[in-house]
Structure 1
C-alpha cells in the first residue's frame, strides 16, 4: 500500500471514528428497549410514505443530473442510468465522505464514455445550486420561525465573537490567499512543460468547458423546477416521519422546516452519511420544541435509519446494474 492510499484510509478511519463516537455519546444513555418500543408504536404508514417520497427524490435527482450532461462525446445518458449512477454515489458516500461525487461520475465515464472533467463540472454546478437552495431554505425558516431561529442561532454561535474574529483575521486571510494564488501561478508558469502540470491544466480545462456548456442546457426550466422540488421532497420526507411518531405528530410545518434545516446542516458534515452530526442537531432542535431528549434522539434515529437502509438497498441494486453494463468503446471510424 502506497503512502497516498494509506493517507486516504487514515482519513476515512478518522472520519468514521468521529461519527461513531458522536453517535455513541448521544445514545449511550438510551435503553434499547425504548427505541424498540418507539419503533413498534410508530405509524408505519407515514414512515413508509416518507420512504416512497425519498425514492421519488432520488429518481428526480438522477433526472436533474442528466439535464446537465451533454453527449458531445460518448453516449447520451438516460434518466434511468443517471438515477443508478446517483445511487452508486450515495452508497460510496456512506463509506468515504464526499467520494460519491467522483464515484458516480466514474461509473458514467465507464458506461457512456463521457469525460470525467465534464461530469465533475456538472456535479460542481449541482452542489452550487444545492447550496443556494439550502441558503434559501434557511432564510425561509428564519421568516417562518424568526424568534426561535434567532434564539437557536445565539445558542449555537456567539455572533458577536464570530464577527470580531472575522474582522481581526480578515487581512491575514486575504493576504495568505493572495500569496497562495501567486505561488500556484508561478509554479504553473515555471513548470508548464511538466507532464503532471499539463494533466492538471487539461483537467481544469475540461471542467471549465463543462461549466460553459451547462449554460446551454436544453431544459433550464426543468432543471430549476426540479431543484426546488427536491427541497420540497426533503421537507415532505421529514414531515411524514414526524406524523408517524407520537412525540412529534403535533409539530407544525414551520417547526418541521427548522428540523429539516438542522438535519441538512448535519448531513453536510464530513462524516459518513451524516452519522452522529445529523442525530445531534435534529435532537437539539426537537428539545427546543419541548420534546424530551430521549424522544428527540429516537426520532432522529428512526428517520436517519430508514433513509440509511433505503440508500444501502437502492445503492447496492444500482451498483449491480451498473456493473452489468459493458464498458463503452469509441466506435471505429469507417
Structure 2
C-alpha cells in the first residue's frame, strides 16, 4: 500500500513539474491565435512525414535491441521486440523512465528471457545513445559555435530575448537538471544491481553484449540511423510552417540537441522542458513568438499522439499473438 502511494505521489510530482513549466510557457499566449496558426498555416503532409520517420527510428531501435538480446541470450521475434519498444514509449508518458523496465518485463514474459539480462542490454543500448548524443552535441557546437556565442554575447537582454524572458535561464536549469538526473540515475541503478547476488553476472552479460556482437557494423548502422531519423523528424517539420520553412540543416541539428536535453528531464513525455528548449532555440534563429510556440505545440503533440496510438495497439496485440510464458529472473 505504501509503495503504491509513493508511486502515485511520484507520478503526480513529475506531472506537476512538467505541467507547471508548460503552463508557465504558454500562460501569456492566446490559445485561439495558436489554434488559428495550426489550422490555417500548417502543411500537415510534412507532419505525416515526420511521424513516418519517427516510426522508422522506433523500428530501428527494436532491431538494434534485438541484436543485443540475441548476443546475450537468444533471438527474439522482431515484432515482439518492436511492440515492446512501443509499449515502453507509452509507459514513459505515465512515469519517466518506467518504459525501460516495462519493455524488459513485457518481452521477458512473452519470450521467456531473463529479465535481468534484458535490463543489461537496455543499459548497453542507453550507453550507446549517450555516446551518440555527445557526438551530436559536439557536432552542433562545432558547426554553430560562432552563432551561439554571438547570440549570447550580443542579444542577451535585447528585445529579441526579452520576448522570451524565461528562455536562457530555463534552458540552463533544464540542462543542469538533466545532467544531474542522468548521472544519478545511472550510478544508482549500477549500485543497486551490484548489490543483488547472482544477478550481477547476468546483468553484465547483457551490458557487455555490445562488445561481443558479431556484426558490430550493423549495430553502428542502426545507431546512426536512429539519430538520423531523429534529426529528420525535426528538420522536415520545419517545412510545415511558413515561419520555420527557411531554417537550415544546422538549425535542425541544434534543435535536435536542445530537444534531446529537454527530454532528459524526468517529466512525462518531456512536456514543458522540451517545449522550453525548442522555443528558446527557435528564438535564437529569429522565429517570432507565435509560430515558435505553435511549432513546439504541434510537433510535440503529434509525436506523443503517435506514441499513444502505437503503444496502445501493441499493448492490445501483444497477448493476442503470444502465449504467456513464465518469466525467469
Does TM, scored on the shorter chain, surpass 0.5?
yes
- TM-score (norm: length of structure 1): 0.82
**What is the DSSP-based 3-state SS (H/G/I as helix, E as strand, rest coil) of the residue aligned with 2:325?**
coil
Aligned twin of 2:88: 89
Contact conserved, 1:92 with 1:100, CA < 8 A, in 2?
A: yes
| 1:219 is the counterpart of 2:218 | no
Contact conserved, 2:263 with 2:269, CA < 8 A, in 1?
A: yes
Cα distance change of structure 1 residues 267 and 228 upon mapping to structure 2, 3 Å threshold: same
How many residue pairs end up in the alignment?
Answer: 293
2:287 to 266, 287, 291: 291
Deviation at 1:197, TM superposition (A): 10
1:207 to 176, 190, 203: 203
1:271 to 255, 263, 267: 267
Cα distance change of structure 1 residues 152 and 321 upon mapping to structure 2, 3 Å threshold: farther
Cα distance change of structure 1 residues 268 and 72 upon mapping to structure 2, 3 Å threshold: closer
Cα distance change of structure 1 residues 197 and 264 upon mapping to structure 2, 3 Å threshold: closer
Aligned twin of 1:301: 297
Cα distance change of structure 1 residues 197 and 236 upon mapping to structure 2, 3 Å threshold: closer
2:324 to 313, 323, 327: 327
Gaps of 5+ in 2: 157-167, 170-186
- CA–CA distance in structure 2, aligned partners of residues 88 and 6 of structure 1: 24
- CA–CA distance in structure 2, aligned partners of residues 21 and 72 of structure 1: 42
- CA–CA distance in structure 2, aligned partners of residues 137 and 14 of structure 1: 31
Greater CA drift, 11-20 or 75-84: 75-84
- CA–CA distance in structure 2, aligned partners of residues 52 and 63 of structure 1: 17
Aligned twin of 1:98: 97
Deviation at 1:220, TM superposition (A): 1.4
Contact conserved, 1:19 with 1:272, CA < 8 A, in 2?
A: yes
- CA–CA distance in structure 2, aligned partners of residues 201 and 28 of structure 1: 51
- CA–CA distance in structure 2, aligned partners of residues 152 and 91 of structure 1: 37
Cα distance change of structure 1 residues 150 and 202 upon mapping to structure 2, 3 Å threshold: farther
Cα distance change of structure 1 residues 17 and 152 upon mapping to structure 2, 3 Å threshold: farther
Aligned twin of 2:107: 108
Aligned twin of 1:280: 276
- TM-score (norm: length of structure 2): 0.83
Name the larger-Rg structure.
1
The two structures, once aligned, show a CA RMSD in angstroms of 2.4
Deviations 1:184-232 (A, max 9, x none): 8xxxxxxxxxxx9998122222201222343222321111111011111
Deviations 1:249-285 (A, max 9, x none): 0101101211111111101110000000000010001
Deviations 1:172-194 (A, max 9, x none): xxxxxxxx99xx8xxxxxxxxxx
Cα distance change of structure 1 residues 6 and 114 upon mapping to structure 2, 3 Å threshold: same
Aligned twin of 1:44: 44
Aligned pairs (5 A) from 1:119-268: 119-150=118-149, 156=168, 200-268=196-264
Deviation at 1:288, TM superposition (A): 1.2
